[in-house]
Structure 1
Amino acid sequence: MRLVNKPHSSSGFTLIELMVVVSVIAILAMKGLPALSAYMTNSRIRESANVVVTTAALARTEAIKRNLVVTIASDGAGTLNVTYLVGTTQTSIRSVPVAHSRVGAFTASFDSTGRLTPFGTDVQATVDGGPTVLCSGEVLCPTVHIEPGGMVSLCTSGACS
């Protein structure tokens, strides 16, 4: 009995097919990169805004817990300081760096009931991407709003009402 060899069929891709697939991937990547860049910028700015919100909540909690006036202050250069004053001695509770963004300078003081002091004040802190990032339609620069009652919120559409 004699074995007959069947014709061997090629498997795989031709060079043309491979070039077409690479071209399609390159076109899709070029379309998606600007959106990815805006997403990453927004994520960094939002992360910094969340640091401001949590640090303000910490200051409020410490004011209630210590039964003292506790102050959160931003120097505008990337550091949030939470302090309290006993007599003439100012004591630091925490100093928090804000890494990826710029937080506008602000000061907010919470009394022992968790409200802003003096009562009736309203504090807003802007967070942006720094001097190289412009707030536009794609890049959102949120505002941290501290209400007179002490509630801290984050508004992504600019100024809070």
Structure 2
Amino acid sequence: MKATRAPRCPSGRHGSHGFTLVELMVTVAILAILATIGYPSFQELLASQRVRAAEAALYDSLLIARSEALKNRASTTFVTTGLASGWSVQVGGQVVHSQSALAGVSFTPSTPNIAYDATGRLGVGTDPLPITVTVTGSGSTSKLCIEIRDQTGSVKRKKDGACP
């Protein structure tokens, strides 16, 4: 009986499958460099997305306040002790909409006085004002602006993000 031998590997290496330590270290170094380059851009992206989310929440709440005043033909108030800590929309003392606190976001002014009368116009004592939504990240600041127009109470987003 004749014994058969296993075929030889053409490269001369037997049983070496995988990466060498040098190859792994080069790969890790390249990944570290790419992460370092991309980190500031990622922080700016996160800041701008937080501003957009906060601006959308505030804008929607103001629209809800105005539409509830029209729908119920009753005074509606936008209640807050500070926009950064959340707010609610109330019709006749009953909460119809609320928003919880938004982390890392600041508003100017922080406690606006906003009320709508039964016709959807701004109530007595409410001044038309712009509200600036700001997030300050590492070395960058992102801002958006919401404006409550004149006494009609309509809400407008400013395209360029700058408040007057």
Q: 1:97 aligns with which of 97, 100, 103?
A: 100
The one-letter amino acid paired with 1:141 is K
Q: How many residues align?
A: 152
- Which whole-Å deviations, capped at 9, do the CAs of 1:9-39 have from their partners, x for residues lacking one? 4553332222222111110001111211222
Q: Name the residue aligned to 2:123.
A: 117
**RMSD across aligned C-alpha pairs, in angstroms?**
3.0
Normalised TM-score (structure 2): 0.73
Q: Name the residue aligned to 1:145.
A: 147
Q: How does 1:9-20 map to 2 (within 5 A)?
A: 9=11, 11-20=17-26
The runs of at least 4 aligned residues of structure 1 exceeding 6 Å deviation read none
SS in 1 for 2:68: helix
2:159 matches 1:158: no
Residues 82 and 93 in structure 1, CA contact (< 8 A), matched pair in contact too:
yes
> Equivalents in 1 of 2:67, 2:22: separation in Å?
65
- Which whole-Å deviations, capped at 9, do the CAs of 1:63-106 have from their partners, x for residues lacking one? 00111221214322523232345xxxx44434432322233211
Compared CA separation, residues 8 and 157, structure 1 to 2 (3 A): same
Residues 75 and 106 in structure 1, CA contact (< 8 A), matched pair in contact too:
no
For structure 2, the 5+ residue unaligned runs are none
CA-CA distance at 1:61 after TM superposition:
0.9
Q: 2:90 aligns with which of 79, 83, 96?
A: 83
Residues 110 and 150 in structure 1, CA contact (< 8 A), matched pair in contact too:
yes
For structure 1, the 5+ residue unaligned runs are none
> Equivalents in 1 of 2:6, 2:116: separation in Å?
92
- The percent identity for this pair of structures is 25
SS in 1 for 2:119: coil
Q: Name the residue aligned to 1:57.
A: 63
Compared CA separation, residues 4 and 43, structure 1 to 2 (3 A): closer
Compared CA separation, residues 72 and 4, structure 1 to 2 (3 A): closer
Max Rg structure: 2
Compared CA separation, residues 74 and 144, structure 1 to 2 (3 A): farther
The one-letter amino acid paired with 2:162 is G
Residues 128 and 153 in structure 2, CA contact (< 8 A), matched pair in contact too:
no
The one-letter amino acid paired with 1:80 is W
CA-CA distance at 1:50 after TM superposition:
1.5
Q: 2:53 aligns with which of 32, 47, 51?
A: 47
